[in-house]
Amino acid sequence: MTTAPNPGPRLDEQRPTRIPLPAKLRAPGWYRAALFDLIGFGFCFGLVVLIRSLMHEHPIVDGNAITIVSLIGVPLFFLVGLGVADYWFYWAAGKATRPEDHSAHGARTWRDYFRVNTDHKVIGIQYVCTSFFFFLVGGLIAMLMRVELAQPGMNFVTPEEFNGLFSVHATILIFLFVIPVFAGLANFVLPLMIGAPDMAFPRLNALSFWLLPLAGIMMLMSFLAPGGSFASGWTAYAPLSTTMPLGQLFFTIAVQLAGASSIATALNFLVTIITMRAPGMSFFRMPLLVWANFSTSLLVVIATPFIAASQFFVLLDRALGFHFFDAFVGAGKDGNVIMYQHVFWFYSHPAVYIMMLPGFGIISEVLAVKARKPIFGYRMMAFSLLAIVVLGFTVWAHHMFVSGMAAWIRIPMMITTAIISIPTGIKVFSWLATLWKGVLHVDTPMLWALGFLAMFTLGGISGIMLAMIPFDIHVSQTYFIVAHIHYVLFGGSVFTIFAGFYYWFPKMTGRMFDDRLGKWHFWSTFIFFNLTFAPMHLIGIEGMPRRVAEYAEKFATWNLLISISAWMLGLSTLIFIYNVVVSWRGGPRAAPNPWRALTLEWQVSSPPPIFNFDVVPTVVGGPYEYGVPGAVHGIFKPPEEAKPVPAGVGGQTTREHTDHIQ
């Protein structure tokens, strides 16, 4: 392969040696990043001292202000030091264009995963490993919370620490696990699926990834801040968040980094999907995972700026004394507290779909392949994704039925919320019909997919209940909400993540996982997941508020059961870790296409070659033509040699009568 679409930066680039520094500190990498961190901190320190002395503020050296400025500045210096921006700086400075030697593609040793790398497959694995690290951290925090909640009374942490624990738990798992792990899986799989050699903007892709660990570390470092970690929940409602100790700013700023990462990745996906599909791959020949990430990326690009805005408001209120959310300033009372919630939920409701639509895509891939049947109603599956994108922006205030906003807004929001369940229902019913009369290979990925169908249905049902305003008024801000979001985000998103992780594990690592351990992992997770979260519906309606370190005696029995189940749920993850580590190191070699799938990523070796395809494939049929004699999705021949194959997508000739469901 001689023509890569995008040259990457050369790591061994010769540079003029103007600064007398050792090569290690001049070359991009961790040494230079550490040096730049020091420079960055010095810069922020100096900036604060300079401004404060010019404005006659006392004391001139203010730890609070220096920390806030450093939280913004040091990560940027780190990224430059690590080398994510080298190419852009060279280009901007008018340096000679350096020919691409592909040295930044592929990973030869594990060390390559700790460098700035522009290969979408390396970045995908970086994403997945990083986010699973934060999955374990978030899960451990949940287990600590359940220690406190095992019995009534304060037993283990202080109320402040408890508020910090659940805030960090939610934030880490939303912003550092569910959202990025989907981006990571898609990063690896999506360019392969559409027959592209890489993402459209490989260097932007690398920058997107490296923003993430910074955001995660910043959130965890908030535990070290004076006054403890941020403790106003992941929702960070003002004016509580604007009056919190310094730890709150770690959230406010880390969310900006994670949000920037999301937006850049989503743009990258959009351009990749629109411009880099293989010849013959029309939109309605795209696998549904590609459709799902297309829809998700639209949501991310449109919605994420809103959470950025909400956190900028908080930053300005908290750090500079603005009064966006201060209802008590002066006689005018000009702050608007509820505005925070509108702006916040205008992102954070679509974020629910950002955390679910890629999972829908994964389930479509796994079910079609494992049931050996075409996806039932492919076009409706694609259209329902787009319907969710549009409707997803019309329901945000259903999070605010008891917020004190104008009462009439609740009615249209109830109706749109009910309506958005229809495209979701179409998807569930179509998956069920896909199973029907198939030849089901019930292995680990399939188990997770089937478990998802049942658990997500429960989460969807409680979601429709919550749309009904009078019932929502009773249960909002109680454990019923905690149960609902865990059925949607754990029974929904996390189950799809595991389905996809096991499904593509052979492709990503070139090794097979242990199917028996995978099934144990599924069943232990499935059982303890339900034992943990199902009782929360009950105690929620009974009246136990969420986000409390302390509760009434009458909830003690349920909470003890929940705590024990939650610890077992945490322990079941050990099976997963063991399986992954052992299989990755020494599992049996994976064949290129162990699942007999039609989509393009399975038509190359496992793991794929550095530039994905030696011959650009030509797509000649739909992605799920299982059972159609002689059907193929793509061939490795130029378009002019491609012959049409039978039964493209839509295949009206094979649409059957209702008699196959009785």
Partner 1 sequence: MVAFGVVLTAVVLAIVLSLPWFPSLASTQAHRIHTLYNVLLIASAPIFSLVATVVIFSVIKFRMRPGEEEKDGPPIHGNTRLEVIWTAAPAALILGLCIYSYTVLRANEDKKAGETLVNVTERQFAFEFSYPQANGKQVVSPVLYLQDNHPYLFHIRSLDVIHSFFVPNFSEKIDAVPGITTDLRVTPTRLGSYPAECTELCGAGHAFMRAEVEVVTPARYQAWLSSQKLNGTPPIGVPPAFAVQPGVPGDSTPSTPPAGTTYSNSRSSHPQTAAK
How many of the other CB atoms lie within 10 Å of CB of 590?
20
Residues between 192 and 251 with contacts to partner 1, criterion CB under 8 A: 227, 231-233, 237, 239-240, 242-245
What's the one-letter identity of residue 412?
P
Q: What's the start-to-end Cα distance of the chain, in Å? A: 54
549 binds partner 1 (CB under 8 A): yes
Shortest separation between residue 363's beta carbon and partner 1, angstroms = 12
**Distance (Å, whole) CA 401 – CA 424:** 22
Under the binding rule (CB under 8 A), the answer on residue 75 touching partner 1 is: no
Q: How far is the CB of 609 from partner 1 (least distance, A)?
A: 27
Min dist. Cβ of residue 327 to partner 1 (A): 3
Q: How far apart are CA 582 and CA 428, in angstroms?
A: 35
The span of 80-88, 105-113, 250-258, 545-553 binding partner 1 (CB under 8 A) equals 545-553
**Under rule CB under 8 A, which residues in 17-36 are in contact with partner 1?**
none
CA distance 292 to 84: 28
Give the CA count within 13 Å in the CB-facing half-sphere of 481. Answer: 17
Q: Which is nearer to partner 1, 76 or 240 (CB)?
A: 240
Nearer to partner 1 among residue 143 and residue 469 (C-beta): 469
Q: Which residue has the tokens 């779909």?
A: 353
Nearer CB in complex with partner 1: 432/582: 432
Does residue 662 touch partner 1 according to CB under 8 A? yes
Rounded to a whole number of angstroms, the minimum distance from the CB of residue 256 to partner 1 is 20
Please report how close the Cβ of residue 333 comes to partner 1 at its closest, in angstroms. 5
Interface of this chain with partner 1, residues 331 to 370, rule: CB under 8 A:
333, 335-338
| 34 alpha carbon, distance to own chain's centre | 28
Q: Is 173 in the site for partner 1 (CB under 8 A)?
A: no
User: 514: which 2 tokens?
Assistant: 């242990």
* Residue 329 binds partner 1, judged by CB under 8 A: yes
415 is a contact residue toward partner 1 (CB under 8 A): yes
Contact between 72 and partner 1 per CB under 8 A: no
Asked if residue 245 has a cis previous peptide bond (ω within 30° of 0), the answer is no
Between residue 505 and residue 544, which ones bind partner 1 under the rule CB under 8 A? 538, 541-543
Tokens of 166: 């659940």
Between 39 and 531, CB nearer to partner 1: 531
Q: In the numeric block, which tokens belong to residue 122?
A: 């390396």
- Name the residue nearer to partner 1 (CB basis): 188 or 551: 551
Segment lying near partner 1 (by CB under 8 A), choices 80-88, 104-112, 149-157, 208-216: 149-157
Beta carbons within 8 Å of 656's beta carbon, 6+ residues apart: none
* Cross-strand partners of 619: 634
Q: Determine, following the binding rule CB under 8 A, whether residue 14 of this chain makes contact with partner 1.
A: no
Q: Which of 197, 358, 374, 392 binds partner 1 (CB under 8 A)?
A: 374
Subset of 463-482 contacting partner 1 (CB under 8 A): 464-465, 467-471, 473-474, 476-478
Q: Would you state the structure tokens that stand for residue 533, as one six-digit string?
A: 């979260």
Q: Which of residues 444-463 bind partner 1 (CB under 8 A)?
A: 450, 453-454, 457-458, 461
Q: Is 326 in the site for partner 1 (CB under 8 A)?
A: yes
Range in contact with partner 1 (rule: CB under 8 A) among 108-116, 169-177, 312-320, 502-510: 312-320
Q: For residues 382 and 284, is the Cβ–Cβ distance under 8 A?
A: yes
Give the interface segment with partner 1, choosing from 255-263, 326-334, 514-522, 583-591 (CB under 8 A): 326-334
Q: Structure tokens of 537?
A: 């519906």
Task: List CB contacts of 14: < 8 A, sequence separation 6 or more.
Answer: none
The burial class, CB within 10 Å (0-12 / 13-18 / 19+), for 67 is middle
Query: Residue 72: which residues within 8 A CB-CB, separation 6 or more?
Result: 44, 253
Residue pair 518/579 in contact by the 8 Å Cβ criterion: yes
* Candidate residues 105, 285, 318, 349; the one interacting with partner 1 per rule CB under 8 A: 318
For CA atoms 426, 431, 432, 438, give the dihedral sign.
Answer: positive
Q: Does 592 bind partner 1 (CB under 8 A)?
A: no
Query: Of these, 628, 633, 635, 642, which contacts partner 1 (CB under 8 A)?
Result: 628
Closest CB 42 distance from partner 1, rounded Å: 26
Beta carbon nearer to partner 1, 54 or 407: 407
> Contact with partner 1 (CB under 8 A): which of 402, 571, 574, 577?
402
Smallest separation (angstroms) from partner 1 to the CB of 509: 23
Cα distance between residue 151 and residue 440, in whole Å:
44
- The answer to whether 251 touches 230, Cβ cutoff 8 Å, is yes
Amino acid at 332: G
Return the residue of 21, 61, 422, 571 that touches partner 1, per CB under 8 A. Answer: 422
| Total interface residues for partner 1 by CB under 8 A | 122
Using alpha carbons, list the distances in angstroms from residue 349 to 33, 93, 341, 396, 427. Answer: 36, 42, 11, 5, 19
Q: What is the CA radius of gyration of the chain?
A: 26
Identify which range of 19-27, 95-103, 184-192, 548-556 contacts partner 1 by CB under 8 A.
548-556
Closest CB 577 distance from partner 1, rounded Å: 27
CB of 76 to partner 1, least distance (A): 24
Rounded to whole angstroms, how far apart are CA atoms 197 and 616? 8
